[in-house]
Structure 1
Amino acid sequence: MPRPLDKLPKAHLHLHFTGSMRHSTLIELAREHGVHLPDALEQDWPPRLRATDERGWFRFQRLYDIARSVLRTPEDVYRLLREAAEDEVAEGSRWLEIQVDPSGYAHRFGGLTSTLELFLDAADRAAAASDLGIAVIVAANRTRHPLDARTLARLASQYVGKGVVGFGLSNDERRGRARDFDGAFRIAKRAGLLAVPHGGELLGAASVAECVDDLDADRVGHGVRAAESPRLMERLADRQVACEVCPLSNVGLGVAERPEDVPVRRLFDAGVPIALGADDPLLFGARLMPQYELARETYGFSDAEVAELARQSIRASAAPDSTKKELSGEIDAWLAAPPE
């Protein structure tokens, strides 16, 4: 029998705030707050999605916005993060970096600053109640003006050392070039934040290269299209820029037709660091564990290679060095133990 993947210590570096919600919690909060859910978020869940054209992306974003609308009170936020932490621990995750754009919630929680402080407090409480380190990545929206991104970068910079560890850039990469947001990322990098923009999901290898060249990315959200360029994979490997690969999200959005088409093995064999992620389990129906199961069952990873994936996720994280050392030792112990 293979070693149990839920006992393998790992870091989860690509998880969006609303997208981390349990489906059962979405249903309960919608009923509590009188929010009507479309069939795709209720009886036909998980929704059938395909976001490779603008109409498909609009539908995906619309469903996400509806899901976000059920978060009406601070108690809802605390519940979401508490349950997310419980789910992470159950899958062997020991460090979580959860991504949020405070702009999407600020109108409910008193503005950008108070919203971010609410999320940070909820993360602290969830971490204290579980065996999980939790940090926050503040993400700008690619479809909004770059000046909005600078505002968020300045806000995030004020919370370095207080729970914020990175600055991201999300939403439809076809709607905003990476270089348009270089000012925001310079602010974030000067403050000591990791640069973790999305790229190479809906667009090709050039989108990943722009994240690295124009935004000085430490990691790239998704990044799977880097596999289209051997030269780019070599650069990522040389610079140890990790790709936060979310295989079942890629299939769910139509980036890949089948799980076996996601180039996880190609990236890994090229030496590109990989941090497997779930992206938005609420919309894709799969959390972190199925991504690791795919690595073993579909991509043919041995236990030693799966352990290396876990190590790469931890090395690419913003976890303290002491935590990285501890988790690395636990991974060694997992691999040294006989298969069950």
Structure 2
Amino acid sequence: MPEGTRSLLALPKAHLHLHFTGSMRVETVRELAEKHDLRLPHALTTQWPPELSGLDERGWFRFQRLYDAARAVVRDEDDMRRIVREAAEDDAAEGSRWLEIQVDPTSYAPFVGGLTPALEIVLDEARVATAATGTQVAVVVAASRMKHPLDARALARLAARYAGEGAGTVVGFGLSNDERRGWTGDFEPAFRIATRAGLASVPHAGELLGADHVQVALDHLLPDRLGHGIRAVEDPAVLDRVVQEQVTLEVCPGSNVALGVYDSPGAVPLRRLLEVGARVALGADDPLLFGNRLADQYVSARLDHGLDDAGLALLARGSIEGSTAPPQVRRDLLAQVDTWLGSEGTSS
């Protein structure tokens, strides 16, 4: 059977790196801005997707300004529920059967009565969306590097209260935003709180900074997964440690290129990671700003890196094995990947 002919939309997969605000459809951002009588930057109205770069202060400022503008249009419970529902719908259409959506409830707490209600809204809609779409939706609570580590501890305690297994529960604790800010080690106490509650440790590291920062995250946060982690390839010793410790890398090629970490999709060292045995889970990160979703990452793996269907199935398995899905869910999804690989090829 010819390789590279099976539908990537039909490939069962998990999605482990998707931010709440960044998951929004651009049409939704525009409609919510109109609803709340707010003005959006031109890049979100007429020049989408925006041209971005995260390699210098000016480039990152533009990215953050657009992200903040999108976040500012989310002003009530209905808005929050819509984001979760649409993220699940979009993932379901792309073959994602397990979604871990990452949220910092701090941003939305002022509009819905506090941190606890904000998180409970997301969790409740995750359960509703799971039933409606067939894609199981779980939640990662993420602290921001831009805020004090004590804030991260408060979020970790909140996340721990809702820790669980399966859709509609908190399954992980993350650390996001510009990894060049602050000292990662300062967030270690927050991650200890989270991991004691059984939550997966899923911090960002190794996109805007190199392998040395991957090592810092490994030393201090004991990650089960790393958001990005792609630049571990720059140091063989660090990369070997990632492989040996079975840390899943949430690789987001669209983000890497949009932010200027690599100059083209083909330059993303995806094949190198697979060659050394790293577990990779492709993610979309922030489709709102990068203009591509989960299925696009698999298309890039096929077209830009020449992966055949067996290689694409390996990526899907990596996403499932690296997820926090309950064991039976993982077994079922892995069996579905095997079925996909054994199916007749169709164009996608």
Matched residue type, 2:105? P
String of CA shifts for 1:120-159, please: whole Å, max 9, x gaps: 1111111111111110000000011111100000110000
Q: For residues 175 and 53 of structure 1, what CA distance do their matches in structure 2 show?
A: 13
CA distance in 2, matches of 1:306, 1:261: 18
User: Could you tell me which residue of structure 2 aligns to residue 176 of structure 1?
Assistant: 182
Matched, 1:60 2:63: yes
TM-score, scaled relative to structure 2: 0.96
Structure 2 residue identity aligned to 1:71: V
Runs of 4 or more off by more than 6 Å in structure 1?
none
Name the residue aligned to 2:144: 141
- The match for 1:120 is 123
Verify the 8 A CA contact 2:229 2:250 in the aligned structure 1: yes
* 2:203 is equivalent to residue 197 of structure 1: yes
1:200: how far off? 0.3
> Does the Cα contact within 8 Å between 1:234 and 1:271 map onto a contact in 2?
no
Partner of 2:271: 265
- Quote how far apart the aligned CAs of 1:174 are: 0.5
Aligned AA for 2:328? Answer: S
The 5 A counterparts of 1:125-274 are 125-161=128-164, 163-274=169-280
Q: Tell me if the contact between 1:29 and 1:71 (Cα under 8 Å) persists in the aligned partners.
A: yes
Equivalent residue letter for 1:172: D
Matched, 1:11 2:1: no
Q: 68, 84, 88: which is aligned to 1:85? A: 88
C-alpha deviation, 1:13, in angstroms: 0.2
CA deviation after TM superposition for structure 1 residue 300, in Å: 1.1
Q: CA deviation at 1:338?
A: 2.1
Report deviation, 1:103.
0.9
Counterpart-to-counterpart distance in 2, 1:164 and 1:204: 29
Letter in 2 for 1:55: R
- Give the match's secondary structure for 2:227: strand
Q: Report SS of the residue matched to 1:165.
A: strand
CA contact (8 A) 2:226 2:248 kept: yes
In structure 2, the partner of 1:332 is 338
AA in 2 matched with 1:11 = A
What's the offset of the Cα at 1:176?
1.7
What is the match of residue 44 of structure 1? 47
1:36-67 Cα shifts (integer Å, max 9, x gaps): 01111110011111111122111111111110
Q: Unaligned stretches of 5+ in structure 1?
A: none
Q: Kindly report which structure 2 residues correspond to 1:104-115, keeping only aligned pairs within 5 A, or say none.
A: 104-115=107-118
| CA distance in structure 2 between the partners assigned to 1:80 and 1:201 by the alignment | 26
Contact 2:75 2:108 in 1 (8 A): no
Q: Secondary structure at the match of 2:9?
A: helix
RMSD: 0.9
Worse-superposed segment, 78-87 or 139-148: 78-87
Give percent identity, aligned residues only.
Answer: 59
How far apart, CA to CA, are the structure 2 residues paired with 1:47 and 1:110?
Answer: 33
Give the aligned partner of residue 315 of structure 1: 321
Question: Which structure 2 segments of 5+ residues have no match?
Answer: none
